[in-house]
Amino acid sequence: MNKLLMTLALAFSLTALPAWAEDKTTAPETAQGDNTKILADKLKADKKLYTAAALDLTDAEAKAFWPLYGEYQAGLDKLNTRLTKLVGEYTDALGNVALTDKEALRLNNAALVLDEDEIKLRKAFAPRLAKALPGIKATRYLQIENKVRLTLKAQLAAQLPLAE
């Protein structure tokens, strides 16, 4: 299970910090929790640096882009918080008792809604990015975000057991 939690931490660090990292009252107090937050902060900064280098923004583009970037990361953070909760519910359901058909369908439906909400977020930001950046740079940024999310979702999926 620690490997699963680390994958989640890495996922969030590359997209946005999870809610617990910003809320000091609920943050893990363990050394592992502290190390995870440090790693998350570093990877989040590295992602921002990579994005900046990949986009090679002019001053005018940067002025328009970075506030959108922050908004998009905040939206991803909300999705990540929901994903953390959903993965926790799934692993709890598998760990405590046999997963029922009703619970399996509920979890699957929640995952579908989460996927739909992620698509809605991308769709909402795509035209805003297109106004702030040339088409190629707007597309490149969305590709970067998509590649990161797909890679991390694949890692997460590889660690989650199949429903039984």
Q: Report pTM.
A: 0.76
Q: What long-range pairs does 127-133 form, CB within 8 A, spacing at least 24? A: 128/68, 129/65, 129/68, 131/64, 132/61, 132/64, 132/65, 132/68, 133/55, 133/57, 133/61, 133/64, 133/65
Structure confidence at residue 10 (pLDDT) = 54
Structure confidence at residue 24 (pLDDT) = 36
Q: What long-range pairs does 51-57 form, CB within 8 A, spacing at least 24? A: 51/141, 51/144, 54/140, 54/141, 54/144, 55/133, 55/137, 55/140, 55/141, 57/133, 57/137
> Mean pLDDT over residues 146-154, rounded?
89
pLDDT surpassing 50 at residue 76: yes
What's the start-to-end Cα distance of the chain, in Å? 17
Structure tokens at 95: 């760990």
pLDDT surpassing 70 at residue 156: yes
Of all residues in the chain, the percent with pLDDT exceeding 90 is 50
pLDDT band at 91 (very low <50, low <70, confident <90, very high): confident
Least confident of 21-25, 68-72, 84-88, 125-129: 21-25
Structure confidence at residue 19 (pLDDT) = 36
Closest CA to 145 of 72, 64, 71, 62: 72
For residue range 98-141, list pLDDT tens digits in order: 788 998 999 999 999 999 999 999 999 999 999 999 999 999 99
pLDDT band at 22 (very low <50, low <70, confident <90, very high): very low
Of all residues in the chain, the percent with pLDDT exceeding 70 is 80
- Are 80 and 11 in contact, with CB atoms under 8 Å apart? yes
In this predicted model, which residue has the larger pLDDT, 35 or 61? 61
Q: What is the DSSP letter of 24?
A: T
Backbone angles phi, psi at 18, to 5 degrees: -65, 165
Structure confidence at residue 160 (pLDDT) = 86
